[in-house]
A and B are shown apart, each in its own frame.
Chain A
Amino acid sequence: MPQRLIAAVVAALLVGVAGCGGSDEAADNTFKLWHFEGPDSAMGTAWAEAIKQFEASHPGVKVAFEEKGFEQIQKTGSLAVNSKDAPDLLEYPKGNATAGLLSKQGLLTDLSDEVAQRGWDKKLGPGVDTTARYDERGVMGSGQWFGIPNYAEYITVYYNKDMFDRQGLALPTTLDQLTAAMDRFVAAGITPLATAGQEYPAQQVLYQLALTKADRGWVDRYQRYTGDVDFHDTAWTYGATTFADWVRKGYLSRDSAGLKAEDMGLAFMQGKNPIMVSGTWWYGRLRAQVKDFQWVSARWPGMTAGSSGNMWVVPKAAKHKQYALDFIDITLSPAVQDKLRDAGGVAVAPGAAPAADPAIRQLNDDYRALRDADQLAFYPDWPVPGYYDVQVQAVQKLITGDADPRQVLDELAGPYREHVASIGK
């Protein structure tokens, strides 16, 4: 008897565990969509509109939207894509270590035919496809389309115009002018540059400095492994030594080593530092929250970190691929793209009419100028999985003075070489 009872308990438990998966029948006419944009962000606003349009054009289809966090998708998205409960469409980070890895493993749907048929490539324009196409090694820039971006982002320089006016300074347009302006602020007892070493901002400043001496070939060698990368070449050395100089001259605070991106943003928004070098993802928030001073965004002189935004990917295991493709098409429609742009985002396929707000027009014009001149240089941590972390630590040492530029570049070179040696394995 006890044995029988034990068997019954075990069976009941197993059935219970198996039952947790839910039934597939219920999901029959449900379009499962995941993304990680906040509801008030430019993308969140635009995609809410896209969901509305999708429901109107697909009567009887229920959109099951789940809002995820960026880190959640970045860290565990691959598990979801790899399971039978994969969503039909999800927003996914672009780059070799993320979308490239999934495409290499055969977990994403090849969208190339659809791209040609629906003319998405023409809509997006040249350059944007670099982050959308991956070869069989999972390296971006060539091969099949595995994702469709529908917004863009790039690093820009935010200036507190009032603080510049108070010092009698014009807004800089060259690196020399920027440096001269920072000298003036330091002399006035103000730390000019808001940044943060514990997250992405500081490493992006170092990369921006290196990019002032770089060209497309340099970026492609580094990001797409098209040739040897020398971490002690002119560009990298200039980037690291200039960054160390900036620390020494007090352009940025040594205290910033332990700060997060949020601290940087708050310091700028509170008017503590007159300059912030960071992404267009701050734009909407600055517009909404900065009320007591005038600010502007301006292009970084030369090549600039930036790319298409994160992308829509369709898991191989998706049950309703047609719905996913229809939804992507809607997000690329002029109406939705204009909505995204007018909410402070950078649209990749806007309608013919320019934005009514001159500041937003400038932000989008700057993007088009960068794209048309082929000056988008992606982000510094893309080439190697986990490189973000390596860069955070190396640049922190540069800020605290625990390592000199040469040692920092050596630290960046190690994991890069190790990864490049393993590509294609």
Chain B
Amino acid sequence: MRAVRERGSYLLYLAPGALLVLAVVLVPFGMNVGISFTEWSGVGEPEWTGLDNYGRLLSDGTFWASFRHNLALVVAMAVLPTLAGLVVAATLVDYIGKHFGARQAAVLRACVYLPQVLPIAVAGIVWSWILAPKDGALNAALRALGLEALARNWLGDPDLALWSLMGVLLWMQLGYPVVIFMAGMSRLDPALHEAAELDGASWWGRFRHVTVPGLRPEIFVVLLTCTIAALKVFAPIYVLTRGGPAGATNVPAYYSFQNFFERTRVGYGAAIATVLTVLVLVLTAVFLRVQQRGER
């Protein structure tokens, strides 16, 4: 009886959070799924069309292209920042921290983290100036260095736009893994490094066999959160390219937005959003599963 009572009082603490999740996540998601089975312009009565929107998705080239672009962005926002983050964090801790002092390392860490703090709209506008075709800073710099042949229309060329976007997103994203990994490294037992050093292990050997395995939980968290961020990326696309040129940088989240608000095909937009949500949920489940297995 007492146990039941105690459980009741625990539930009480969970109630506000649960209610909020219900109100701002579960109910809207349920409504979104419901709307995805209809044809609806956003006003008036939705018309029930069953699985039509999903059937249409299967043969929609723009939708599949947007997913391919998303894979590239997973590389730019999750894979590369994780790899680069490990190297930068290790350099800051093992080299800068040891030879120049912890304060210098902290200042550099803050510099790398800065893009994470900048509002995306501001960062996006600044990058669109840097990458502007005629008098953008990047092309101007290339010209000044006598490398005019390398100057390009970075965001306006369909063959280059996705690569340029990946570069910007890598820059935006890098600070996050660096901070997490540096925190993780301070958790590692220094005795392991010392023992390896005594055994004659090189920096690379210690990095590979001590630091990286020790950071496994952090790496999982960073990969998971960055992959989810990459899948639902919207703001940088909106500010920098609006999915263009000619659809070269369109992603599902932006495509869904276009259908919701620009094409007034709310049902179809809801179907894209549903597929995206399911994909994120599945991926999260897989990640967590693999992580749990790794911990065991």
A residues contacting B by CB (< 8 A) are: 2-3, 5-6, 9-10, 13, 17, 74-76, 78-79, 81-82, 97, 101-102, 104-107, 197-198, 253-259, 263, 267, 272, 385-386, 388-389, 392-394, 396-397, 400, 402-403
Contact = CB atoms under 8 A, between A and B. Distances in A.
B246 A397 contact: yes
A106 B41 CA distance: 13
A399 to B, nearest CB: 8
Contacts of B8: 2-3
A81 B134 CA distance: 43
Interface string B1-36: 000010011011001100100010000000000000
Given A5-B12, A10-B15, A257-B156, A400 B246 contact: yes
Contacts of B133: 253, 255, 258-259
B99 interface: no
Contact of B261 (A76, A254, A258): A76
B13 to A, nearest CB: 10
B158 A400 contact: yes
Secondary structure of the B side of the interface?
A: loop
Q: Which of B132, B262, B264 gathers the greatest number of chain A CB atoms within 10 Å? A: B262
Contacts of B134: 253, 255, 267, 272
Nearest to A7: B15
Interface string B42-82: 11100000000000000000000000000000000000000
Given A386-B263, A386-B265, A2 B156 contact: no
Given A257-B245, A397-B158, 16 more contacts: A17-B23, A81-B43, A97-B264, A107-B43, A197-B245, A198-B156, A254-B153, A258-B133, A258-B245, A386-B262, A386-B264, A392-B242, A392-B244, A396-B245, A400-B158, A403-B246
A254 B242 CA distance: 18
A13 B157 contact: no
A90 to B, nearest CB: 15
Given A385-B262, A393-B246, A400-B246, A79 B157 contact: no
B247 interface: yes
Interface of B: 5, 8-9, 11-12, 15-16, 19, 23, 41-44, 132-134, 153-158, 161, 241-247, 258-259, 261-265
Contacts of A3: 8
Given A101-B264, A258-B161, A78 B156 contact: no
Contacts, number: 118
A142 B247 CA distance: 36
A394 B247 CA distance: 9
A402 B246 CA distance: 9
Nearest to A381: B262
Contact of A78 (B43, B132, B161, B246): B43
Contacts of A10: 15, 19
29 contacts: A5-B12, A6-B11, A6-B15, A9-B19, A13-B16, A78-B43, A79-B43, A81-B43, A82-B43, A97-B264, A101-B264, A102-B43, A105-B43, A198-B242, A253-B134, A256-B156, A257-B156, A257-B158, A257-B246, A258-B156, A258-B157, A258-B244, A259-B133, A259-B156, A385-B262, A385-B265, A386-B258, A392-B242, A392-B244
Given A3-B8, A257-B153, A198 B41 contact: no
Q: Which 4 A-B pairs have the closest CB atoms?
A: A258-B156, A386-B263, A255-B133, A2-B8
Contacts of A102: 43
A104 B9 CA distance: 53
Contacts of B161: 258
A257 B158 CA distance: 9
Q: Which of A102, A258, A388 gathers the greatest number of chain B CB atoms within 10 Å? A: A258
Nearest to B41: A101
A258 B127 CA distance: 13
A388 B262 contact: yes
A75 B261 contact: yes
Contacts of B23: 17
A3 B8 CA distance: 8
Contacts of A259: 132-133, 156
A2 B261 contact: no
Contact of A105 (B5, B16, B44, B263): B44
A76 B132 CA distance: 31
Contacts of B155: 258
A6 B11 CA distance: 9
A197 B243 CA distance: 12
Contacts of A393: 244-247
Contacts of B16: 9, 13
Nearest to A3: B8
A272 B247 CA distance: 28
B262 A389 contact: yes
A198 B12 contact: no
Contacts of B243: 389
Contacts of A392: 242, 244
A310 B241 CA distance: 27
B249 to A, nearest CB: 10
A263 B129 CA distance: 10
Contacts of A400: 156-158, 245-246
B43 A6 contact: no
Given A258-B156, A388-B262, A9 B246 contact: no
A345 B84 CA distance: 54
Contacts of A396: 158, 244-246
Nearest to A81: B43
A255 B11 CA distance: 60
Contacts of A403: 246
Contacts of B12: 2, 5-6, 9
Contacts of B158: 257, 396-397, 400, 402
Contact of B11 (A2, A17, A101): A2
A263 B189 CA distance: 55
Contacts of B154: 258
A197 B43 contact: no
B153 A258 contact: yes
Nearest to B263: A386
B263 A385 contact: yes
A174 B244 CA distance: 34
